[in-house]
A and B are shown apart, each in its own frame.
Chain A
Amino acid sequence: GDSVTQMEGPVTLSEEAFLTINCTYTATGYPSLFWYVQYPGEGLQLLLKATKADDKGSNKGFEATYRKETTSFHLEKGSVQVSDSAVYFCALSGDDYKLSFGAGTTVTVRA
Chain B
Amino acid sequence: GAGVSQSPSNKVTEKGKDVELRCDPISGHTALYWYRQSLGQGLEFLIYFQGNSAPDKSGLPSDRFSAERTGGSVSTLTIQRTQQEDSAVYLCASSEGGQVGNTIYFGEGSWLTVV
A binding-site residues for B, Cβ under 8 Å:
30-32, 34, 36, 42-46, 49, 51, 89, 93-104
Quick one: closest A residue to B109, CB to CB? A43
Contact A31:B100 (CB < 8 A) given known A42-B108, A43-B106: yes
Quick one: closest A residue to B43, CB to CB? A101
Contact A43:B91 (CB < 8 A) given known A96-B56, A97-B48, A98-B33: yes
Q: Which of A31, A34, A44, A100 contacts B45 (CB 8 A)?
A: A100
A103 to B37, CA, bound (A): 10
The smallest C-beta distance from A98 to any residue of chain B, in angstroms, reads 5
Which chain B residues in 51-101 approach chain A with CB under 8 Å? Answer: 56, 91, 93, 95, 97-98, 100-101
- By secondary structure, the B interface counts as strand
* B33-A93 in contact (CB<8A): no
- Nearest 4 Cβ contacts at the A-B interface: A32-B101, A51-B101, A44-B106, A101-B43
Q: Which of B45, B48, B100, B103 contacts A95 (CB 8 A)?
A: B100
A-B contact list, 10 entries, CB within 8 Å: A34-B103, A43-B108, A44-B93, A93-B100, A95-B100, A97-B50, A97-B98, A98-B48, A98-B56, A99-B45
* A32-B106 in contact (CB<8A): no
Q: Which of B33, B50, B98, B108 contacts A99 (CB 8 A)?
A: B33
* A44-B101 in contact (CB<8A): no
The smallest C-beta distance from A59 to any residue of chain B, in angstroms, reads 12
**What would 9 more interface pairs be, CB under 8 Å, given A93-B100, A95-B100, A104-B42?**
A43-B91, A43-B107, A46-B103, A46-B105, A93-B102, A100-B45, A102-B42, A103-B42, A104-B43
Quick one: closest A residue to B6, CB to CB? A43
